[in-house]
Amino acid sequence: MQSENPLIADFVKLLNGAAGTFAGMSREAGATAREKLREAMGGLDFISREEFDAVKEMAATAREEVEALKARLAKLEGGSAAGDIAAAADDTAVG
Protein backbone atom coordinates (compact mmCIF):
# COMPACT_ATOMS: atom_id res chain seq x y z
CA MET A 1 0.00 0.00 0.00
CA GLN A 2 1.45 3.35 -1.04
CA SER A 3 1.51 6.30 1.27
CA GLU A 4 -0.40 9.42 0.27
CA ASN A 5 1.83 11.59 2.41
CA PRO A 6 3.51 14.21 0.13
CA LEU A 7 6.36 14.66 2.63
CA ILE A 8 7.38 11.00 2.31
CA ALA A 9 6.98 11.10 -1.48
CA ASP A 10 9.22 14.18 -1.68
CA PHE A 11 11.79 12.52 0.61
CA VAL A 12 11.86 9.38 -1.59
CA LYS A 13 12.31 11.55 -4.70
CA LEU A 14 15.17 13.36 -2.98
CA LEU A 15 16.87 10.06 -2.09
CA ASN A 16 16.44 8.70 -5.64
CA GLY A 17 17.92 11.89 -7.07
CA ALA A 18 20.85 11.74 -4.65
CA ALA A 19 21.51 8.10 -5.52
CA GLY A 20 21.54 8.96 -9.24
CA THR A 21 23.87 11.87 -8.62
CA PHE A 22 26.29 9.75 -6.62
CA ALA A 23 26.26 7.04 -9.31
CA GLY A 24 27.06 9.64 -11.96
CA MET A 25 29.84 11.11 -9.85
CA SER A 26 31.30 7.65 -9.36
CA ARG A 27 31.30 6.94 -13.11
CA GLU A 28 32.85 10.31 -13.88
CA ALA A 29 35.54 9.88 -11.21
CA GLY A 30 36.45 6.46 -12.64
CA ALA A 31 36.64 7.85 -16.18
CA THR A 32 38.78 10.76 -15.01
CA ALA A 33 41.14 8.44 -13.13
CA ARG A 34 41.51 6.19 -16.19
CA GLU A 35 42.25 9.21 -18.39
CA LYS A 36 44.88 10.53 -15.96
CA LEU A 37 46.53 7.11 -15.87
CA ARG A 38 46.58 6.95 -19.67
CA GLU A 39 48.21 10.38 -19.79
CA ALA A 40 50.82 9.36 -17.22
CA MET A 41 51.60 6.09 -18.97
CA GLY A 42 51.54 7.67 -22.43
CA GLY A 43 54.86 9.40 -21.87
CA LEU A 44 56.61 6.11 -21.19
CA ASP A 45 57.92 3.98 -24.01
CA PHE A 46 56.86 0.41 -23.42
CA ILE A 47 57.38 -2.42 -25.86
CA SER A 48 55.89 -5.87 -25.90
CA ARG A 49 57.88 -8.99 -25.10
CA GLU A 50 57.56 -10.10 -28.72
CA GLU A 51 59.11 -6.85 -29.97
CA PHE A 52 61.94 -7.16 -27.45
CA ASP A 53 62.67 -10.75 -28.48
CA ALA A 54 62.60 -9.81 -32.18
CA VAL A 55 65.11 -6.98 -31.69
CA LYS A 56 67.30 -9.21 -29.53
CA GLU A 57 67.31 -11.88 -32.24
CA MET A 58 68.14 -9.31 -34.95
CA ALA A 59 71.03 -8.00 -32.84
CA ALA A 60 72.43 -11.50 -32.41
CA THR A 61 72.15 -12.10 -36.16
CA ALA A 62 73.84 -8.78 -36.90
CA ARG A 63 76.65 -9.63 -34.48
CA GLU A 64 77.20 -12.96 -36.25
CA GLU A 65 77.26 -11.20 -39.64
CA VAL A 66 79.81 -8.67 -38.38
CA GLU A 67 82.05 -11.44 -37.09
CA ALA A 68 81.77 -13.26 -40.43
CA LEU A 69 82.62 -10.08 -42.32
CA LYS A 70 85.61 -9.45 -40.05
CA ALA A 71 86.91 -12.93 -40.75
CA ARG A 72 86.33 -12.53 -44.48
CA LEU A 73 88.09 -9.16 -44.53
CA ALA A 74 91.00 -10.55 -42.55
CA LYS A 75 91.25 -13.45 -44.98
CA LEU A 76 91.21 -11.10 -47.98
CA GLU A 77 93.81 -8.73 -46.56
CA GLY A 78 96.05 -11.43 -45.24
CA GLY A 79 96.77 -12.94 -41.84
CA SER A 80 98.73 -10.00 -40.42
CA ALA A 81 95.83 -7.59 -40.87
CA ALA A 82 93.52 -9.79 -38.78
CA GLY A 83 95.03 -8.57 -35.53
CA ASP A 84 94.76 -4.95 -36.69
CA ILE A 85 91.10 -5.39 -37.60
CA ALA A 86 90.27 -6.98 -34.25
CA ALA A 87 92.08 -4.19 -32.41
CA ALA A 88 90.29 -1.52 -34.47
CA ALA A 89 86.96 -3.18 -33.79
CA ASP A 90 87.69 -3.26 -30.07
CA ASP A 91 88.70 0.44 -30.15
CA THR A 92 85.46 1.47 -31.88
CA ALA A 93 83.33 -0.64 -29.53
CA VAL A 94 84.90 0.97 -26.46
CA GLY A 95 85.09 4.57 -27.69
pLDDT digits (tens, 9 = 90+) for 19-65: 989 899 999 999 999 998 888 887 777 788 999 999 999 999 999 99
pLDDT of 81 above 60:
no
Q: What is the pLDDT of residue 1?
A: 46
Contacts for 74 with CB less than 8 Å, ≥ 6 apart: 81, 82, 85, 86
- Mean pLDDT for all residues in the chain: 83
All structural domains of the chain with their residue ranges: 1-45, 47-95
Instruction: Yes or no: say if 70 and 86 are a contact pair by the CB < 8 Å rule.
Output: yes
Cα Rg of the chain, angstroms: 35
Q: What is the pLDDT of residue 80?
A: 58
Q: Annotate 12-27 with DSSP letters as a single string.
A: HHHHHHHHHHHHHHHH
Model confidence pTM above 0.85: no
Tell me the C-alpha to C-alpha distance, in Å, between residue 35 and each of 31, 42, 52, 62.
6, 10, 27, 41
pLDDT of 94 above 80:
no
pLDDT of 95 above 50:
no
Q: What is the largest CA-CA distance in the chain?
A: 109
